[in-house]
């Protein structure tokens, strides 16, 4: 995958990670399934304590934050290729993927220049939004990741347009 990426022109250090892309993706997906409020608590108090047998080459919290930036395309590709079949009933939702709290924006460098400020249901946050259309069996039909400042109606409209005219043959 890396040979197809466009270079920014800046020479970067390519330190080989002890964790594979699939391991990082598994940790990130599990974080969203376990319902922890923030990634730091999840990683330090759950992954480090209970998942050391599954991930023997765990890295520090700061290193995993850097590695997570590199898996965004792979994670998105995985979700796109796991599409479920249309069943006639679909649900649409979006959720925030908060990078960190608004008060810490100026101090942190994670996703600098990529993530944006946006309004959630409760308050403003800094990060991305995950938009999903799922069927009645919880299968993902369509997925899109946008910056937090994008209005929810725009990506959902585009995602629904892709589905228009599709039907199930029995």
Q: Are residues 101 and 159 in the same domain?
A: yes
Q: How many domains does the chain have?
A: 2
- Report pLDDT for 49: 92
Mean pLDDT, range 106-132, rounded to an integer: 77
Q: Are residues 95 and 73 in the same domain?
A: no
Q: Are residues 104 and 127 in the same domain?
A: yes
* Residue range 30-53, pLDDT digits in tens: 887 787 888 899 999 999 999 989
Average pLDDT, rounded, for the chain: 79
Q: Which residue would you say has higher pLDDT here, 81 or 22?
A: 22
- Report pLDDT for 136: 84
pLDDT-based confidence at residue 103 (cuts at 50, 70, 90): low
User: Is residue 11 one of the residues assigned to a domain?
Assistant: no
Q: Are residues 150 and 101 in the same domain?
A: yes
| 81-87 long-range Cβ contacts below 8 angstroms, 24+ apart | 82/140, 83/139, 83/140, 83/141, 83/142, 84/134, 84/135, 84/137, 84/139, 84/140, 84/141, 85/135, 85/139, 85/168, 86/135, 86/141, 86/163, 86/166, 86/167, 86/168, 87/135, 87/136, 87/137, 87/168
């Amino acid at each position: 995958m890396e040979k197809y990426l466009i270079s920014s022109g800046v020479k970067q250090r390519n330190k080989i990670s002890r964790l594979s892309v699939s391991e990082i993706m598994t940790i990130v997906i599990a974080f969203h399934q376990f319902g922890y409020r923030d990634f730091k608590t999840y990683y330090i108090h759950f992954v480090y304590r209970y998942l050391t047998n599954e991930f023997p080459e765990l890295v520090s919290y700061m290193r995993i934050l850097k590695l997570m930036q590199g898996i965004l395309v792979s994670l998105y590709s995985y979700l796109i290729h796991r599409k479920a079949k249309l069943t006639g009933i679909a649900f649409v939702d979006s959720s925030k993927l908060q990078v960190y709290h608004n008060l810490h924006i100026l101090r942190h460098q994670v996703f600098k220049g990529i993530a944006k400020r946006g309004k959630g249901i409760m308050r403003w946050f800094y990060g991305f939004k995950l938009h999903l259309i799922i069927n009645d069996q919880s299968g993902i039909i369509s997925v899109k990741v946008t910056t937090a400042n994008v209005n929810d109606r725009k990506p959902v409209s585009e995602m629904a347009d892709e589905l228009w005219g599709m039907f199930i043959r029995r």
